[in-house]
Amino acid sequence: MGPFRAVKGVQDVLPPDVFLWQHIESIACDVFRAYGFDEIRPPILEHTEVFTRSIGQATDIVDKEMYTFTDKGNRSLTLRPEGTASVVRAFVQNGMHTLPSPQKLYYMGPMFRYERPQKGRQRQFHQIGVEAFGISDPKLDAEVIAMLMELLRQVGLGGLSCEINSLGCSKCRPAFREVLVKFFTPKLGSLCTDCVRRHNENPLRILDCKVPGCIKERKGAPAATDHLCGECREHFETLQILLNDLRVSFTLNPEMVRGLDYYTSTAFEVTSTDLGAQNAVAAGGRYDNLVKDFGGPDTPAIGFALGMERLVALLSDKAVSAEAPVLDAYVVSIGKEPVRKGLVIAERLRMKGFRTEVSYGSSSLKNQMRRADKLGARYVIIIGEDELREGMLSYKRMSDGASGKVSASEAEGLLSTDKNN
Ligand code: ATP
Ligand code: MG
């Protein structure tokens, strides 16, 4: 059997890379907590309709990218390609609209899309996302965008700009759609086959196509922001004022339409030129109709998702890394009884929160010391027959070679004195 290889397009995240992942995740938790967001952990599997109905048939995700299969009970299930649909399903199913508004939730975890694997594009990738329900005021949009930028700043990715756009609502979108259809009708011959289909199903998506011919054809296309109803225009203008108040830098991008059908009004993306073609590190927007579409009460909502792999790649390019955890102590022991004692001492130190290793074999003192050095231990605790008899521990501080004898409880004190130096 074997050796086996991972499935195409999925990756193992190993130490030391994983330290950066953990660092990002822990900062994200802190930032989200500060803004009043709580975690939700929806399942990775959903009924396929959860995604087809919400994301939209004419989108890349539903059209080409879903991991869909029939289970042994003949149900069509899908590995989630994104988080919003699952969170909305959970919100409605659990009656969360009856809780105080707004409900502010975040999630972290793997997503699955059958895409052509390349740099910044995997088939299993990871997102950190948030969804906030129940408030239609642009204050919530501003807060969510500011929170995203603050998160990126705290992980070490300052200086990014956010592109924003407004896609209109169910009142103004239909008219804009007509204008778009008219604009593209004479150009149908030069559009890609996907866009010819989009022209019927969702012409907004043509604005998002990455095929060079379509990019050329859409020059001068009408902008959604020129066709907003009064309410949407005011929402969008207020959002810009609030972002200025919060010192969030942004640019207007009338071409940004987002790849999912459920978005309404505010849409935003954080891009980095360092990422090349796959340049969005995070993206989101309002989806004011989705809760209702899922059978819940009319509930406005907004969210974003951040791509972990792309964020990690950007940080690595900027040489941002996270330190491996420091080894506080390495317990060296010589002789049968001392080895047993060593394990007990290590256990005691671990229970006090000190990262501690012991030697598992019976190698020489010299080899054990060398290993302690290699692992970067702050202290070596040495137990031999003498120490056992005296009920003491010898120690060596690796930073300056200082050494001496201490009791077990004194050793704990010693280890904590310069823990963060
Ligand atoms: P793209 O236009 O790059 O395909 P998208 O619009 O499909 O992105 P979203 O659905 O908005 O992406 O997902 C939000 C974020 O998740 C993206 O900005 C990106 O950072 C990340 N992401 C999306 N698809 C992948 C993937 N296949 N591999 C890695 N990260 C991804
Ligand atoms: Mg995509």
Query: Prior bond to 102 cis, omega within 30?
Result: yes
Cβ of 113 less than 6 Å from ligand 1: yes
Crossing angle between the packed helical segments 84-93 and 48-55, to the nearest 10 degrees:
110
pLDDT of amino acid 419: 75
pLDDT of amino acid 294: 96
pLDDT of amino acid 326: 95
Contacts of residue 25, defined as CB under 8 A and 6 or more positions apart, other chains included, come to 108, 128
What domains are there in the chain, each with its CATH number? Answer: 17-172+228-317 (3.30.930.10), 329-415 (3.40.50.800)
HEC letters along 72-113: CCCCEEEECCCCHHHHHHHHHHCCHHHCCCCEEEEEEEEEEC
Cβ of 125 less than 6 Å from ligand 1: yes
Q: Render pLDDT for 299-344 as a digit per residue (tens, 0 to 9).
A: 999 999 999 999 999 998 888 888 899 999 999 999 999 999 999 9
pLDDT of amino acid 59: 83
Residue 134 gets which letter from DSSP?
A: S
CA–CA distance from 323 to each of 23, 156, 175, 395 (Å)?
9, 14, 54, 25
pLDDT of amino acid 371: 95
Cβ of 110 less than 6 Å from ligand 1: no
Report CA(187)–ligand 1 centroid distance (Å). 29
The protein residue whose alpha carbon is closest to atom 25 in ligand 1 is 121
* 241: its two tokens: 């004022």
Where would I find the beta strands (DSSP E) of 147-235? 161-166
* 248: its two tokens: 């969030």
pLDDT of amino acid 373: 96
pLDDT of amino acid 272: 81
Burial class (CB in 10 A: 0-12, 13-18, 19+), 413: exposed
H/E element, 46? strand 45-47
The protein residue whose alpha carbon is closest to atom 4 in ligand 1 is 278
Do residues 415 and 349 touch, judged by C-beta distance below 8 A? yes
Pocket test for ligand 1, best of 113, 205, 310, 314 (most atoms within 8 A of CB): 310
* 404: its two tokens: 């001496």
Cβ of 205 less than 6 Å from ligand 1: no
pLDDT of amino acid 16: 92
pLDDT lower than 50: segments of the chain: 421
pLDDT of amino acid 276: 64
Contacts of residue 171, defined as CB under 8 A and 6 or more positions apart, other chains included, come to 229, 231, 232
